[in-house]
Amino acid sequence: MMRINEAESVHDTLANLPKLLDEGLSDRRIYSDPEIYRMEQRRIFARSWLVVAHESQIPAPGDFMESFMGEESVIVSRNRDGEVRVMLNSCRHRGNKVCRTETGNATSFMCPYHGWTYDSNGDFVTAPRFDAVYKDSVDRSRWGLLRARVESYKGLIFATFDADQVPLTDYLGDFTLVLDLFLDRYPGGVQAEPGVVRWTMNSNWKFGAENFGGDNYHALTTHFSAQDVGHRPDGGGRPAKRKAVPDGFTMVSDERGHSLNATLRVPGAEPDRGDPVSRFHADHLDLAIEHMGRYRAQEITRGNANLFPNASFSLRSRQIHLWHPRGPEETEIWLITFSDTIMPEDLRREARIAASHHFGPAGMFEQDDGENWEQSTLSCNGVVASSLPLNYQIGRGYEQVVSGEGLPDRLDGIYTEYGQLAMLRRWSALMLEP
């Protein structure tokens, strides 16, 4: 029988976590404790570069959309000069939202409480009877909406509230490989399909993020029924050739917390032509090879990745999951689907339908995953269960570095938990910083 002790302090939990992670273990309390959750908002989400939108979602001056940075609502706006701004959606007078619409086009944003008004650049413009009421007591130049730092990579918009955060390319590091595979397979790049699919789940945001960052092992059990009937994210049937353990690799960044888990083509396998979308990619393989290189275009056939902290990428279905925390045990999930700009509209529609069968609230794989993450979160509350560590030891002690092919160094194997540990190590390091 084990001995159950009184709960340790949050400080002790965080201080002990690096040693646990070195053993391939993690503490369940980090997924459920309210105090740890509040610390995350300050130390993780307020300091990291976060994906907020894609430039194709706000193509014209005045276009805007609401997004989130942690729990903070932000307005992603293109000002009259065509520059992208990301602004805290909180009036400087009493704090109300100045934008309550998900998307649109506007020259200004007015708070419905007292009428403080801001332009698409976030600058404070005026308020009702401003000169008569305020006289000279308010300097307009000091009361604009709080603006985040903004940078983009091949159309993907990032923002951070941390003035000391490193430049985006330094933050991304080797993860630019994933973004190139996702955003730039063909000349012309990608565009976001209209709309964002949103739903909530009773799970901690980290379970979804770490799952995408390296967990291919769960597919053998969790997604067995879907795979058994031939379901694939691109809509095709079961591959003609299959190995018991497919070739692949995991690319991790312990310093930044990013990771990619990728599957490689079965040697000698021909491009899939089982459905119209697959035939399009097969027909344009030479163009992709010319644009991005043979290995990247042909050999990497599947990849799931997570950009620390909360942006997950599915290379095959061309979708981004954004895990927006809504409490220690609730996550609002945003799913954005992309298509290559060279793809005809009828095939874009086919790709959207196929992707929605895979991920999204009605997706076959998404429903499997969501149930697991909710159960994992629930287990973190039990007095006895929460005292037991979680196990992340697949591949531990057998790490083998693979080099070459014009890719960053990576670790051999697709059934590993290197990616999850990389994310948790970065999370732990930031949580321990003042």
Put residue 24 in one of left, alpha, beta given phi > 0 → left and psi -120 to 50 → alpha.
left
Collect all residues with Cβ–Cβ distance below 8 Å to 278 and sequence separation of at least 6.
234, 235, 236, 271, 272
Q: What is the mean pLDDT of the chain?
A: 91
DSSP letter for 298, please: I
| Alpha carbons 216 and 223: distance in angstroms, whole number | 10
* 3.90.380.10, 3.40.50.1370, 3.30.470.20, 3.40.50.2020: CATH of 173-432: 3.90.380.10
Could you give the CA distance from residue 175 to residue 288 in angstroms, rounded to a whole number? 20
**Token representation of residue 277:** 């979308």
Is 309:315 a contact under the CB 8 Å cutoff?
A: no
pLDDT level of residue 352 (50, 70, 90 thresholds): confident
pTM recorded for the entire structure: 0.93
Do 217 and 304 contact (CB within 8 A), yes or no?
no
Q: What is the pLDDT of residue 373?
A: 87
Q: What is the pLDDT of residue 338?
A: 96
Contact yes or no for 377/202 (Cβ under 8 A): yes
Q: What is the largest CA-CA distance in the chain?
A: 78
pLDDT average, residue stretch 274-278:
87
pLDDT for 355 equals 84
Tell me the pLDDT band of 173, cut-offs 50, 70 and 90: very high
Model confidence pLDDT, tens digit, residues 115-139: 999 999 999 999 999 999 988 888 9
Whether 240 has a pLDDT exceeding 50, the answer reads no
CATH of 50-152, one of 3.40.50.800, 2.102.10.10, 3.40.50.1970, 3.40.50.720: 2.102.10.10
Residues of the chain with pLDDT > 70: what percent?
Answer: 95
Distance, CA of 387 to CA of 16 (rounded, Å): 13
| pLDDT score at 5 | 53
**pLDDT tens for each residue of 293-322:** 999 999 999 999 999 999 999 999 999 999
Among the residue ranges 66-75, 259-268, 326-335, 355-364, the one predicted with the least confidence is 355-364
Cα distance between residue 308 and residue 366, in whole Å: 20
According to DSSP H, which parts of 166-268 are helical?
168-172, 176-183, 205-214, 224-228
Residue 393 identity (one-letter amino acid): Q
pLDDT at 41 over 70: yes
pLDDT over 90 percentage in the chain: 74
Residue 238: the pLDDT is 45
Instruction: Please state the rounded mean pLDDT for residues 274-292.
Output: 93
Instruction: Report the pLDDT value the prediction gives residue 237, as an integer from 0 to 100.
Output: 42
Q: Residue written as tokens 């403080």?
A: 116
Cα torsion 328, 157, 354, 300 to 10°: value is -100
* Range list for CATH 2.102.10.10 in the chain: 50-152
Distance CA(427)–CA(98), nearest Å, equals: 32
Q: What is the pLDDT of residue 314?
A: 95
Which token pair is 262? 């990728």
Sheet strand arrangement including 63-69: 84-88, 72-78, 63-69, 103-105
Average pLDDT over residues 254-276: 90
Q: What is the pLDDT of residues 353-393, one digit of tens each?
A: 888 888 888 777 877 887 888 898 999 988 898 889 999 99
- Average pLDDT on 3-12 reads 70
Q: What is the DSSP letter of 58?
A: S
Length of the chain: 434
Domain limits, CATH 3.90.380.10, in the chain:
173-432
Number of Cβ within 10 Å of residue 285's Cβ equals 13
**Confidence (pLDDT) at 242:** 57
pLDDT, residue 235, reads: 44
- Helix, strand, coil % in the chain, rounded to nearest 5: 35, 25, 40
What pLDDT shows up at residue 227? 73
Inform me whether the pLDDT recorded for 8 exceeds 80: no
Query: Residue 243, SS3?
Result: coil
**Nearest to residue 414, comparing CAs of 220, 205, 231?**
220
How many CB atoms lie under 10 A from the CB of residue 225?
11
Tokens encoding 186: 């063909």
State how far Cα 82 lies from the chain centre.
Answer: 26
